[in-house]
Chain A
Amino acid sequence: MAPLKLYGMPLSPNVVRVATVLNEKGLDFEIIPVDLTTGAHKQPDFLALNPFGQIPALVDGDEVLYESRAINRYIATKYASSGAALLPATPSAKLEVWLEVESHHFYPNASPLVFQLVFRPLFGGSPDPVVVDKHAHELAKVLDVYEAHLAQNKYLAGDQFTLADANHASYLLYLTKTPKAGLVNDRPHVKAWWEDIAARPAFQKTAAALPLPPPPSA
Chain B
Amino acid sequence: MAPMKLYGATVSWNVTRCVVALEEAGAEYQIVPIDFATAEHKSPDHLARNPFGQVPAFQDGDLHLWESRAICKYVARKHKPDLLREGNLKESAMMEVCLEVEANQYTAALNPILYQCLVSPMFGGTTDQKVVEENLEKLKKVLEVYEARLAKHKYLAGDFLSLADLNHVSVTLCLLATPHASVFDAYPHVKAWWDGLMARPSVQKVAALMKPSA
Contact = CB atoms under 8 A, between A and B. Distances in A.
Interface of A: 51-52, 63, 65-67, 69-70, 73-74, 77-78, 91, 93-94, 96-97, 99-101, 103-105, 142, 145, 148-149
Interface stretch (B24-32, B66-74, B168-176, B189-197): B66-74
A146 to B, nearest CB: 9
A109 to B, nearest CB: 12
A63 to B, nearest CB: 7
Contacts of B74: 93, 96
B76 to A, nearest CB: 11
Interface stretch (B36-44, B94-102, B129-137): B94-102
Contact of B93 (A69, A70, A145, A149): A70
Contacts of A93: 63, 65, 70, 73-74
A210 to B, nearest CB: 24
> Secondary structure of the A side of the interface?
helix
B177 interface: no
Contacts of B65: 93-94, 96-97
Interface of B: 51-52, 63, 65-67, 69-70, 73-74, 77, 86, 89-90, 92-93, 96-97, 99-101, 103-105, 142, 145, 148-149
A67 B101 contact: yes
A135 to B, nearest CB: 16
Given A77-B89, A78-B89, A103-B103, A97 B52 contact: no
A97 B58 CA distance: 11
A101 B52 CA distance: 10
A96 B93 contact: no
A196 B70 CA distance: 26
A41 B60 CA distance: 44
A51 B145 contact: yes
A74 B104 contact: no
Given A51-B148, A91-B77, A69 B100 contact: yes
A217 to B, nearest CB: 39
Given A63-B90, A70-B93, A96 B145 contact: no
A71 B99 CA distance: 12
B89 A96 contact: no
A3 B22 CA distance: 41
Contacts of A103: 103-104
Given A91-B77, A148-B51, A149-B51, A97 B70 contact: yes
20 contacts: A51-B149, A67-B97, A67-B101, A70-B97, A73-B96, A77-B89, A77-B93, A78-B89, A91-B86, A93-B65, A93-B70, A93-B74, A96-B67, A96-B73, A100-B69, A101-B52, A103-B103, A103-B104, A145-B51, A148-B51
Contact of A70 (B67, B96, B145): B96
Contacts of B103: 103-104
A105 B66 CA distance: 12
Contacts of B89: 74, 77-78
A70 B95 CA distance: 9
A7 to B, nearest CB: 14
B70 A100 contact: yes
Given A96-B74, A99-B70, A74 B96 contact: yes
B105 A96 contact: no
A73 B73 CA distance: 14
Contacts of B93: 63, 65, 70, 73-74, 77-78
B67 A101 contact: yes
A145 B70 CA distance: 18
Given A51-B145, A77-B89, A100 B51 contact: no
Nearest to B93: A74
A11 B92 CA distance: 29
A77 B92 contact: yes
Contacts of A51: 145, 148-149
